[in-house]
Amino acid sequence: MHNRFNLKAWLLLLPALSFLIAFTHWPTLKSIWRSFTWAKSDVAPSQFVGLENYQMLLEDPVFLKVIENNFWYAIGTVPTSIALAIIMALWVNSKIGGTSLLRLAFFTPTILPMITVANIWLFFYSPHIGLFNQLLALVGIEGPNWLGDPDLALSSLMVMTIWKEAGFFMIFYLAALQTLSPELFAAARLEGAGAWRIFRKITFPLLMPTTLFVLINAILNAFKLVDHLFILTKGGPNNESNLLLYYIYETAFSFLDSYYAATLTVVMLATLAVIALVQMLLLDRKIHYR
Amino acid sequence: MKILSKYLTTVGVASILGLSTAATAATDLTMYYPVAVGGSLTKIVDGMVDKFEAQNPDINVNAIYAGNYNDARVKALAALQSGSPAQLSVMFSIDLHELRNLEAIVAFDDVVSTNEEREWLNSFYPALMENGKADGKTWGVPFQRSTIVMYYNKDMFRAAGLDPEMPPTSWEEFISMGKKLTTKDDSGTVQQWGAMIPSTGYPYWMFGALTKQNSEVLMNQEGTETYFDKPGVVEALEYWQDLGNKHAMMPKGMIEWGTLRQNFLDQKTAIMWHSTGNLTTVKNKANFDFGVAKLPGNKELGSPTGGGNFYIFKDSTDEEKKAALKFVKFMTSAEQAAHWSKSTGYMGVGPNAYETETLKAYLKTFPPAAVARDQLTHATAELSTHEAGRVRKFLDDAIQAALTGQSSAEEALTDAQKQAERILRRYK
The complex scores an ipTM of: 0.73
Of chain B, the percentage scoring pLDDT greater than 70 comes to 94
> Is the pLDDT at B324 greater than 50, yes or no?
yes
pLDDT band at B21 (very low <50, low <70, confident <90, very high): very low
Separation between Cα atoms, residue A257 and residue B388, nearest integer Å: 11
Separation between Cα atoms, residue A76 and residue A84, nearest integer Å: 12
> CA B304: distance to chain centroid?
10
Asked whether the beta carbons of residue A128 and residue B74 sit closer than 8 angstroms, the reply is: no
> Is the pLDDT at B376 greater than 50, yes or no?
yes
Q: Residues with Cβ < 8 Å from B24, sequence gap 6 or more?
A: none
> Is the pLDDT at B360 greater than 60, yes or no?
yes
pLDDT band at B308 (very low <50, low <70, confident <90, very high): very high
By three-state DSSP, how is residue B140 classified? coil
Mean pLDDT of B61-75: 89
Q: What's the gap in Å between the CA of A221 and the closest CA on chain B?
A: 23
- B189 versus B204: the higher-pLDDT residue is B204
Separation between Cα atoms, residue A218 and residue A225, nearest integer Å: 10
Separation between Cα atoms, residue B156 and residue B173, nearest integer Å: 16
Taking a C-beta distance cutoff of 8 angstroms, is the pair B200, A236 a contact? yes
pLDDT band at B186 (very low <50, low <70, confident <90, very high): confident
Please give the helix or strand (H or E) that residue B63 lies within, else none: strand B59-65
Question: A60, A242, A255: best mutation site toward chain B, by most B Cβ within 10 Å?
Answer: A255
Residue B39: exposed, middle, or buried by beta-carbon count in 10 A (0-12, 13-18, 19+)? buried
Mean pLDDT of B319-344: 93
Other CB atoms within a 10 A radius of the CB of residue B159 amount to 15
Sign of the Cα torsion A71, A72, A75, A76 reads negative
pLDDT band at B84 (very low <50, low <70, confident <90, very high): confident
Q: Which residues of B touch A62 (CB under 8 A)?
A: 397
Q: Report chain A's C-alpha Rg in angstroms.
A: 23
pLDDT at A95: 64
Separation between Cα atoms, residue B76 and residue B70, nearest integer Å: 10
From the list A148, A254, A257, the residue facing B254 with the nearest CB is A148
pLDDT at A21: 94
Show the domains of chain A with their CATH numbers.
62-284 (1.10.3720.10)
- Axis-axis angle for helices B231-245, B171-181 (nearest 10): 10
Nearest of B357, B359, B364 to residue B347 by alpha carbon: B359
- Looking at chain A, how many residues does it have? 290
> Is the pLDDT at B22 greater than 70, yes or no?
no
Q: pLDDT tens digits, residue range A7-28?
A: 888 899 999 999 999 999 999 9
Residue of B nearest to A39 (CA): B426
Q: Which residues of B touch A132 (CB under 8 A)?
A: none
pLDDT at A106: 83
Which segments of chain A does DSSP mark as H helices, in order?
2-20, 26-34, 52-59, 61-92, 99-111, 114-125, 131-138, 153-179, 182-190, 195-198, 204-206, 208-224, 227-232, 244-249, 258-284
Q: What's the gap in Å between the CA of A56 and the closest CA on chain B?
A: 12
pLDDT at A173: 92
pLDDT band at A278 (very low <50, low <70, confident <90, very high): confident
Q: Report chain B's C-alpha Rg in angstroms.
A: 24
Same topology, domains B2-146+306-373 and B147-304+381-427? Answer is: yes
Of the given ranges (A36-50, A240-254, B47-61, B265-279), which has the lowest mean pLDDT?
Answer: A36-50
Of chain B, the percentage scoring pLDDT greater than 90 comes to 71
Chain B residues at the A interface, defined by Cβ less than 8 Å, are: 70, 73-74, 77, 98, 101-103, 187, 189-190, 193, 199-201, 251, 253-256, 258-259, 262-263, 266, 268-269, 387, 389-390, 393, 396-397, 400-401, 403-404, 406, 426
Nearest of A276, A281, A144 to residue A218 by alpha carbon: A276
**pTM across the whole model:** 0.81
Mean pLDDT of B21-44: 80
What's the mean per-residue pLDDT of chain B? 90
Domain residue ranges in chain B: 2-146+306-373, 147-304+381-427
pLDDT band at B380 (very low <50, low <70, confident <90, very high): very high
Of the given ranges (A50-54, A120-124, A154-158, B312-316), which has the lowest mean pLDDT?
Answer: A50-54
Nearest of B74, B75, B55, B105 to residue B63 by alpha carbon: B75
Give how far Cα A263 sits from Cα of A35, A245, B389, Å: 4, 12, 19
Separation between Cα atoms, residue B140 and residue B106, nearest integer Å: 9
Q: pLDDT tens digits, residue range B296-305?
A: 999 999 999 9
Query: Does CATH place domain B147-304+381-427 in 3.20.80.10?
Result: no
Q: What's the gap in Å between the CA of A272 and the closest CA on chain B?
A: 27
Q: What is the DSSP letter of B276?
A: G
pLDDT at A206: 87
Nearest of A103, A285, A80, A84 to residue A178 by alpha carbon: A103
Taking a C-beta distance cutoff of 8 angstroms, is the pair B232, B210 a contact? no
Asked whether the beta carbons of residue A128 and residue B200 sit closer than 8 angstroms, the reply is: no
Q: Which residues of A touch B385 (CB under 8 A)?
A: none
Q: Which residues of B touch A150 (CB under 8 A)?
A: 404, 406
Window 218-247 of A, Cβ < 8 Å to B: 231, 233-234, 236-239
Other CB atoms within a 10 A radius of the CB of residue B338 amount to 23
> CA B130: distance to chain centroid?
14
pLDDT at B327: 95
pLDDT at B7: 65
Taking a C-beta distance cutoff of 8 angstroms, is the pair A73, A154 a contact? yes
Cis peptide leading into residue B304 (ω within 30°): no
Mean pLDDT of B130-159: 93
Q: pLDDT tens digits, residue range A190-226?
A: 888 888 888 888 888 888 888 888 988 899 999 998 9
Mean pLDDT of B384-404: 92
Residue of A nearest to B427 (CA): A40
Mean pLDDT of B414-419: 94
Residue B135 gets the label, from left (phi > 0), alpha (psi -120 to 50) or beta, of left
> Is the pLDDT at B175 greater than 90, yes or no?
yes
Sign of the Cα torsion B247, B248, B250, B254 reads positive
Asked whether the beta carbons of residue B406 and residue A238 sit closer than 8 angstroms, the reply is: yes
Window 247-266 of A, Cβ < 8 Å to B: 250, 253-257
Q: What's the gap in Å between the CA of A119 and the closest CA on chain B?
A: 10
Q: Which residues of B touch A145 (CB under 8 A)?
A: 251, 253-254
Residue A50 gets the label, from left (phi > 0), alpha (psi -120 to 50) or beta, of left
Q: For the domain B2-146+306-373, what is the CATH code?
A: 3.40.190.10
Of the given ranges (A189-193, B27-31, B305-309), which has the lowest mean pLDDT?
Answer: A189-193
> Is the pLDDT at B342 greater than 70, yes or no?
yes
Mean pLDDT of A109-127: 90
Q: Residues with Cβ < 8 Å from A105, sequence gap 6 or more?
A: none
The two beta strands, B27-33 and A37-38, are: unpaired
Which segments of B221-317 does DSSP mark as H helices, in order?
231-245, 257-265, 279-285
Mean pLDDT of A234-257: 89
Separation between Cα atoms, residue B131 and residue B69, nearest integer Å: 15
From the list B263, B387, B396, the residue facing A128 with the nearest CB is B263
